[in-house]
């Protein structure tokens, strides 16, 4: 809420005009650069995932099994790179490209786990583990339930 | 009564308190910045052997406070009050540092304006006859601030271009009734000003009107202009905020000319990837205790105004969509 009344002298600009002025002085996000980097980083992560799927298929897993094993492997690498302090650097460069793949999900769980370890395993790690990933889980699971119900009635 | 008040918001000290000593401690990133040489002590890493960032911040503040006491060369027990503040909940860094320094303690919260606010209050205590020596210390730490206000430090995300980087450091000064050193001649206590900015990634824009309002009132109260100063430093407006403050002041009839700078812009350079500049309580406190104090003592600067800039929101109020109230406190220091 803006100030209701101010004794003079005050700035000779209204909050509305200030908003416009502030907007014109605020640097815009570098959208094109961000999109290109996200495409590149996201693409590289997915390509690595595909290589791992192919590897697991080669050693005799079925397609579904290879896919699950690959996801688990990618989560492991996401967590490992977070622990080594590398994933936040990848995230700074890649943005959505490194947040959307499953490695980003691993990062969103491991980073609060590391951050809040000092507050203990129950009130710290336990309570804060899903501070970042929580909303994704809540709405992801909610959406999958709704779609599941719809799919049930369509069939 | 012999009034020390001038105009609406300003006090002019009858016998201006002396800054007897100053001391600054910073983290490694600040040490690598353009002002690196002006700091007394640079830590090699963000923890410096402590078991948490919070304890590290408090230790840093303690080192800065002790540094000022040692530099002034007075015995600690002669100090009447210690004033300190920081950004953490319940100003815990200051409370913990005060436990070790063990002087009569006044905790101060002015968000990132705390250094200027504490100097103003300390000077009032001295000039009002309530103290002979006042010790002041202010700290912030990048990682403690990140985890309280934003996201886990290892989480991979991109910061907004207007976002600022919380400075890791602690700055301290020791004020005395008498002695040799730069003097605090006046102070203007700011009003809380809110022009409706809600973006917590754009603090500069939120605080700029408050800083501009304080400067405008300061000029009117003392019948001065920007030309009366060698240097006017805002605390942590950053590149976006200082441009906005200069523009709204110009529109309001006060051209700031070339003397207007910002501690947040000066503490880092463009290669350090901090986006709009530094921020945090430590930003203005270490730049003041380091660079500005040295230039005042060298006679390079004769009259300096430090305008601390604070954003008075909380993570909760920001999530609830409330706009960010800003505040600016000004102190005038003369060589």
**How many C-beta atoms lie closer than 10 Å to residue A86's C-beta?**
13
How far, in Å, are A117, B110, B112, B152, B289 from residue B115 at the CA level?
32, 8, 8, 27, 10
Chain A residue closest in CA terms to B220: A9
**How many C-beta atoms lie closer than 10 Å to residue B75's C-beta?**
8
- Same-domain check for residues B105 and B50: yes
Of B52, B147, B160, the CB nearest to A29: B160
The alpha helices in chain A, defined as continuous H runs, are 15-25, 31-58, 63-83, 87-94, 96-99, 102-115, 127-128, 134-154
**How many C-beta atoms lie closer than 10 Å to residue A142's C-beta?**
10
- Same-domain check for residues B284 and B135: no
pLDDT score of A24? 96
Averaged over B9-32, what is the pLDDT?
Answer: 98
Element (H, E) at B5: strand B5-6
- Same-domain check for residues B213 and B329: yes
Inter-residue contact B101 to B62 (CB < 8 Å): yes
pLDDT score of A50? 97
Distance in angstroms (rounded) separating the CA atoms of residues B176 and B286: 20
Inter-chain contacts counted by CB atoms under 8 A, chains A and B: 128
Q: Quick check: helix, strand or coil at residue B73?
A: coil
Inter-residue contact B90 to B314 (CB < 8 Å): no
Distance in angstroms (rounded) separating the CA atoms of residues A126 and A149: 32
**What percent of chain A lies above the pLDDT cut of 70?**
100
Averaged over B289-295, what is the pLDDT?
Answer: 98
- Same-domain check for residues B190 and B171: no
pLDDT score of B150? 85
pLDDT over 60 (residue B39) = yes
- Same-domain check for residues B163 and B191: no
Distance in angstroms (rounded) separating the CA atoms of residues B236 and B297: 23
pLDDT score of B253? 95
The answer to whether residue B9 is domain-embedded is no
CATH of the domain at B47: 3.40.47.40
In the 8-state DSSP scheme, what is residue B248? H
Q: B195 vs A19: CB contact, 8 Å cut-off?
A: yes
- Same-domain check for residues B296 and B156: no
- Same-domain check for residues B241 and B169: no
Give contacts of B144 with chain A, Cβ < 8 Å: none
pLDDT over 70 (residue B155) = yes
Inter-residue contact B136 to B106 (CB < 8 Å): no
The answer to whether residue B1 is domain-embedded is no
Give contacts of A111 with chain B, Cβ < 8 Å: 151-156
pLDDT over 60 (residue B1) = no
Chain B residue closest in CA terms to A106: B155
Q: How far is C-alpha B320 from the chain's CA centre?
A: 27
**What percent of chain B lies above the pLDDT cut of 70?**
99
The residue to which tokens 């967590």 are assigned: A79
Ordered by start, the domain boundaries in chain A are 32-154
The answer to whether the Cα torsion of B280, B284, B287, B289 is positive or negative is: negative
Inter-residue contact A82 to A107 (CB < 8 Å): yes
Distance in angstroms (rounded) separating the CA atoms of residues A83 and A77: 10
Inter-residue contact A113 to A125 (CB < 8 Å): yes
Q: Quick check: helix, strand or coil at residue B102?
A: coil
Angle between helices B142-149 and B53-72 (to 10 degrees): 140
- Same-domain check for residues B155 and B277: no
- Same-domain check for residues B228 and B154: no
Averaged over A85-114, what is the pLDDT?
Answer: 95
Chain A residue closest in CA terms to B219: A9
Instruction: Give the tens place of pLDDT for each residue, B84-116.
Output: 999 999 999 999 999 999 999 999 999 999 999
Averaged over B148-155, what is the pLDDT?
Answer: 87
pLDDT score of B157? 87
Of A1, A9, A10, the CB nearest to B323: A1
> Please, which pLDDT band fits residue B152 given cuts at 50, 70 and 90?
confident
Distance in angstroms (rounded) separating the CA atoms of residues A30 and A13: 29
- Same-domain check for residues B196 and B111: no
pLDDT score of B11? 98
Distance in angstroms (rounded) separating the CA atoms of residues B334 and B178: 15
Distance in angstroms (rounded) separating the CA atoms of residues B39 and B35: 7
How far, in Å, are A24, B237, B255, B304, B307 from residue B289 at the CA level?
34, 18, 27, 13, 14
Domain end position, chosen among B117, B152, B176: B176
pLDDT score of B2? 66
Q: Distance, in angstroms, between A25 CA and closest chain B CA?
A: 6
> Please, which pLDDT band fits residue A29 given cuts at 50, 70 and 90?
confident
Domain end position, chosen among B160, B176, B192: B176
Q: A107 vs B197: CB contact, 8 Å cut-off?
A: no
Inter-residue contact B86 to A152 (CB < 8 Å): no
The mean of the pLDDT values for chain B is 96
Averaged over A111-137, what is the pLDDT?
Answer: 93
The answer to whether residue B278 is domain-embedded is yes
- Same-domain check for residues B187 and B170: no
The answer to whether residue B315 is domain-embedded is yes
When divided into structural domains, chain B yields a total of 2
Inter-residue contact A128 to A115 (CB < 8 Å): yes
Instruction: Give the tens place of pLDDT for each residue, B262-273.
Output: 999 999 999 999
Provide the residue count of chain A: 155
Instruction: Give the tens place of pLDDT for each residue, B201-236.
Output: 999 999 999 999 999 999 999 999 999 999 999 999
Give contacts of B213 with chain A, Cβ < 8 Å: 6, 10-11
pLDDT over 60 (residue A19) = yes
Q: A25 vs B244: CB contact, 8 Å cut-off?
A: yes
**What percent of chain B lies above the pLDDT cut of 90?**
95
Reported ipTM: 0.91
The answer to whether residue B10 is domain-embedded is no
pLDDT over 70 (residue A123) = yes
Domain end position, chosen among B141, B161, B176: B176
pLDDT score of B314? 94
B189: alpha, beta or left, given left = phi > 0 and alpha = psi -120 to 50?
beta
Chain B residue closest in CA terms to A21: B244
Residue B240 is part of which domain span?
Answer: 183-334
């Amino acid at each position: 809420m803006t100030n209701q009344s101010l004794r003079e002298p005050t700035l000779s600009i209204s909050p509305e005009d200030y908003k416009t002025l502030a907007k014109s002085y605020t640097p815009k996000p570098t959208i094109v650069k961000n999109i290109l980097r996200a495409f590149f980083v996201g693409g590289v992560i997915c390509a690595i995932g595909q290589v791992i799927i192919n590897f697991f298929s080669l050693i005799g897993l079925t397609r579904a099994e290879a896919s699950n094993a690959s996801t688990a492997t990618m989560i492991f690498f996401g967590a490992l790179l977070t622990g080594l302090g590398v994933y936040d650097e990848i995230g700074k460069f890649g943005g959505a490209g490194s947040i959307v793949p499953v490695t980003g999900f691993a990062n969103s769980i491991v980073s609060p786990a590391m951050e809040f370890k000092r507050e203990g395993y129950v009130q710290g790690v336990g309570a804060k583990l899903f501070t970042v990933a929580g909303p994704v889980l809540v709405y992801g699971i909610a959406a999958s339930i709704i779609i599941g119900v719809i799919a049930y009635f369509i069939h | 009564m012999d009034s020390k008040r001038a105009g609406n918001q300003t006090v002019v000290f009858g016998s201006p308190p002396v800054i007897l000593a100053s001391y600054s401690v910073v983290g490694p990133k600040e040490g690598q910045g353009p002002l690196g040489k002006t700091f007394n002590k640079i830590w090699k890493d963000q923890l410096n052997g402590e078991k948490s960032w919070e304890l590290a911040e408090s230790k840093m503040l303690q080192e800065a406070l002790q540094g000022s006491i040692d530099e002034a060369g007075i015995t600690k027990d002669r100090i009447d009050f210690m004033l300190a503040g920081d950004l953490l909940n319940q100003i815990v860094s200051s409370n913990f540092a005060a436990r070790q320094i063990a002087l009569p303690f006044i905790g101060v919260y002015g968000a990132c304006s705390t250094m200027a606010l504490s100097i103003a209050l300390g000077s009032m205590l001295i000039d009002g006859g309530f103290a002979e020596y006042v010790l002041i210390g202010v700290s912030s730490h990048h990682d403690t601030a990140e985890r309280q206000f934003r996201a886990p430090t290892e989480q991979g995300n991109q910061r907004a271009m207007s976002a600022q980087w919380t400075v890791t450091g602690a700055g301290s000064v020791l004020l005395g009734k008498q002695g040799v050193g730069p003097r605090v001649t006046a102070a203007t206590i700011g009003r809380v000003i809110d022009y409706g900015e809600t973006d917590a990634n754009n603090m500069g824009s939120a605080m700029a009107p408050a800083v501009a309002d304080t400067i405008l009132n300061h000029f009117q109260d003392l019948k001065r202009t920007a030309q009366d100063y060698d240097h006017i430093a805002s605390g942590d407006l950053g590149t976006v905020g200082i441009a906005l403050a200069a523009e709204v002041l110009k529109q309001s009839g006060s051209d700031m000319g070339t003397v207007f700078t910002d501690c947040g812009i000066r503490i880092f350079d463009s290669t350090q990837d901090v986006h709009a500049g530094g921020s945090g309580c430590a930003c203005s406190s270490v730049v003041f205790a380091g660079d500005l104090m040295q230039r005042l003592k060298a006679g390079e600067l004769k009259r300096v105004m430090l305008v601390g800039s604070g954003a008075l929101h909380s993570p909760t109020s920001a999530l609830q969509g409330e706009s960010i109230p800003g505040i600016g406190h000004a102190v005038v220091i003369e060589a």
